[in-house]
Amino acid sequence: MPLINVHCHLELTNLAGKLPRNKPFFDWLAELRKQVASWTKEDYQASYIKGLELSKKANTNIIYDVGNQLSEPKPNNNSQVISMHEIIKQVLPTPCTPHSIYATPPELVKYAIKSCVEAGIPWSIHLAEFDDSDRFSDFLEIFKDEPLLVKNGFIIHGNFLTESDLNFMAKNNIAIVHCPQSHEWFGHKEPDFEMWKKSGANICIATDSLASASSLDLMEQVKTLLRRYPKAFTYEEAIAAITTTPAKTIRSAVNVHSMS
Ligand SMILES: [Zn+2]
């Protein structure tokens, strides 16, 4: 069974061990900005390649990577990597996906998700990670005129999602992506895994970047998850979250595209 990592930022790999743990998210982000302030294009590229090597060593077969420095080597012949340009404040080449609703203006969120639908790739967005101000309902509001666009995607983190958010996601093939080591790194609120499972939404496990995780190995993420929450998932459920479940979400986006 192929191992699929549906959320990482390969270009941040060389920040491994450089950023603080257990700090509020925006303090961590300020430190990240300081660390990369002097990085050149080549530094980002070296960091990306290092991340790719570590992922391959960990037997990862497919990676959904988000980055905003256009650091993937060109031409990018790596068919195992879905390289997504992550839009923050400015338009980037397609395929692109929005970073978050707090850092990306609504019109760019819409533009980016449209570009994913057109390319037949699931979209992804960081949402509801560190408090309840970053709401799924605000994300949906952006698409009130074109609600069909929000099918087939990945909500990254989602610690503060509500039951109705999850029910909507289950109906619309929007998967939730939990990154166990990154979650522990920040000391985020414990997700209501029982509610997640009850909703029927697809649950995926991913690594996030080495700026907030100690490993790009999906099996290490599974170990962290089962150590922290031994009752929440069976081993088989955790393995499905890095294999068959992400495969399903990726496949449906491709199917929708080929039927349209
Ligand atoms: Zn991320």
- Domain locations along the chain: 3-259
For 184, how many CA atoms within 13 A lie in the half-sphere containing its CB?
Answer: 16
* The predicted structure's pLDDT at residue 8: 97
Distance 209 CA to ligand 1 centre (A): 7
Distance 177 CA to ligand 1 centre (A): 10
H helix runs in the chain, sequence order: 25-36, 41-57, 106-119, 136-141, 163-171, 180-186, 193-199, 218-228, 235-240, 244-259
* pLDDT confidence bin for 253, thresholds 50/70/90: confident
* The predicted structure's pLDDT at residue 72: 86
Distance separating alpha carbons of residues 209 and 65, to the nearest angstrom: 10
Tokens of 81: 């990597």
- What are the helix and strand counts (H, E) for the chain? 10, 8
Distance 182 CA to ligand 1 centre (A): 9
- Does the domain at residues 3-259 carry the CATH identifier 3.30.470.20? no
Distance separating alpha carbons of residues 213 and 241, to the nearest angstrom: 18
Q: What is the average pLDDT across 180-206?
A: 96
* The predicted structure's pLDDT at residue 52: 95
Contacts of 56 (CB under 8 A, 6+ apart): none
Q: Kind and range of the H or E element at 87?
A: strand 81-87
Distance 234 CA to ligand 1 centre (A): 25
- Range with lowest mean pLDDT among 35-39, 79-83, 210-214: 79-83
Name the packing angle between helices 106-119 and 244-259 (round to 10°): 80
Give the residue among 153, 162, 129 at the shortest CA–CA distance from 246. Answer: 153
Distance 118 CA to ligand 1 centre (A): 23
Distance 259 CA to ligand 1 centre (A): 30
Distance separating alpha carbons of residues 241 and 236, to the nearest angstrom: 9
Distance 186 CA to ligand 1 centre (A): 13
Which string of b and e fits 49-83 if b means at least 16 CB within 10 Å? Answer: bbbbebbeebebebbbbbbbbebbeeeeeeeebbb
Distance 247 CA to ligand 1 centre (A): 19
Highest mean pLDDT: which of 38-47, 73-82, 248-257?
38-47
Distance separating alpha carbons of residues 217 and 56, to the nearest angstrom: 9
* The predicted structure's pLDDT at residue 73: 81
